Amino acid sequence: MGTAVRVLLALGAVYLIFKVGLGLLKGFARPLPEPPPPGEMRRVKLRYRCSLCGMELRVDRALSEDPVAPRHCMEDMDVVAPVE
């Protein structure tokens, strides 16, 4: 009786490992999503600075010409100046 239980447990473990591995391989096989249609992203040149830690960020493309300020350190970042 003990041997039959061990064999069933081993078969269950093999099945589980096989299903998990197959799921991982299927995840790698998915194609990349298509890029957004041209014209949706606008070219902007803005620089932002975090008022708490001083980290700076340059934004080159956004959905609108006046994008919402990004957040860093749980606060909205300040616009430094448009990049010329």
Q: What is the pLDDT of residue 81?
A: 73
Task: Give residue-wise pLDDT tens across range 38-70.
Answer: 667 878 889 999 989 989 999 888 887 778 888
The domains of the chain are located at: 1-30, 42-82
Average pLDDT, the chain: 86
pTM over 0.85: no
Count other Cβ atoms within 10 Å, centred on residue 78.
11
71-72/78-82 β-pairing: unpaired
Contacts (Cβ under 8 Å, ≥6 apart) of 69 = 48, 76, 77, 78, 79
Name the nearest CA neighbour of 83 among 51, 50, 55, 49. 49
Written as one letter, the residue type at 13 is A
DSSP 23: H
Q: Report the topology of domain 42-82.
A: Rubrerythrin, domain 2 (2.20.28)
